[in-house]
């Protein structure tokens, strides 16, 4: 992978600063860094776990794998507060996030780099970068990416706060392209059906989706539409498709 371009980095930072409430936050990373794609997500209970932006379908899939499973380099970066680098996904092994790694290998990713977003002591989310080729991110690019993540964190926090404001006109239109609102709704329905806590219901939803080879968002849509039911007395370990 090539080193950071000074001109590209300056343009990327400027583009981030100009993004405002609705501009792309992922594109500037591609303008500044020689990576294939980028995805940005909020993580955890404070802001909800949701993809903010993805530069392409593969980047969106990288984020979805980790959000669905609740494990992966993005979660490790959020927990530790330091970047997590996997320069050769296809050759890697991991006892920290083995299932997510399998998903990333199936997605044919070459390298993945996760940068935690923090504002002071507040954890906001993570910027995921991926490359189709295996190889490390050069030191200059790591420094540049970290500086850009610092800027992006404040913008993501600003957007999250706007979204949380009741009656905010900028976000009255509802969930965006990567909204996981249906996941939270389905978790609540599953909790009511099974008597589990909402946190345990989300864990069960992830497990059922993984076992069925489906995404959590896809299964959640069926739960909300009542096409699947988790109250089947004859099969406590699974769910029943309703007619």
Q: How far apart are the first and last CA of the chain?
A: 52
> Is pLDDT of 79 > 90?
yes
What pLDDT was estimated at residue 167?
A: 44
- Residue 5 has a pLDDT of 52
d(Cα 117, Cα 146) in Å, to the nearest integer?
A: 9
Across 60-76, average pLDDT:
94
User: Residues 173-227: pLDDT tens digits?
Assistant: 444 555 566 777 777 777 787 777 777 777 677 777 777 778 877 887 888 888 8
- Residue the block writes with tokens 């997605």: 107
More confident residue, 232 or 12: 12
Range 99-123 average pLDDT = 95
Mean pLDDT of 53-64: 95
Q: Which domains does the chain have, with CATH numbers?
A: 6-164 (3.30.450.40), 181-241 (no CATH)
For the stretch 136-146, pLDDT in tens is 999 989 998 99
Residue 238 has pLDDT above 90, yes or no: no
Residue 68 and residue 178 in contact, taking contact as beta carbons nearer than 8 Å = no
Binned at pLDDT 50, 70 and 90, residue 152 comes out as very high
Q: Radius of gyration over alpha carbons of the chain, in Å?
A: 19
């Amino acid at each position: 992978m090539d080193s950071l371009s000074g001109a590209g980095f300056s343009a990327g930072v400027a583009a981030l600063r100009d993004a405002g409430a609705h501009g792309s936050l992922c594109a500037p990373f591609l303008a500044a860094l020689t990576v294939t794609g980028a995805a940005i997500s909020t993580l955890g209970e404070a802001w909800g776990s949701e993809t903010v932006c993805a530069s392409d379908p593969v980047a969106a899939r990288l984020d979805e794998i980790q959000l669905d499973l609740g494990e992966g380099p993005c979660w490790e970066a959020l927990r530790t507060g330091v970047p997590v680098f996997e320069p050769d996904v296809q050759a890697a092994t991991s006892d920290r996030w083995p299932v997510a790694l399998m998903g990333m290998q199936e997605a044919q990713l070459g390298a993945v780099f996760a940068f935690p977003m923090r504002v002071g002591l507040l954890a906001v989310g993570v910027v995921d970068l991926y490359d189709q080729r295996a190889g490390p991110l050069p030191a200059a690019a790591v420094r540049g990416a970290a500086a850009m993540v610092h800027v992006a964190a404040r913008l993501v926090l600003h957007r999250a706060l706007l979204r949380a404001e009741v009656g905010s006109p900028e976000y009255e239109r509802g969930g965006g392209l990567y909204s996981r609102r249906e996941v939270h709704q389905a978790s609540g329905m599953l909790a009511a059906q099974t008597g589990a806590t909402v946190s345990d219901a989300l864990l069960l939803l992830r497990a059922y989706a993984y076992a069925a080879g489906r995404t959590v968002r896809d299964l959640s849509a069926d739960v909300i539409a009542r096409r699947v039911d988790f109250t089947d007395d004859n099969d406590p370990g699974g769910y029943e498709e309703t007619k």
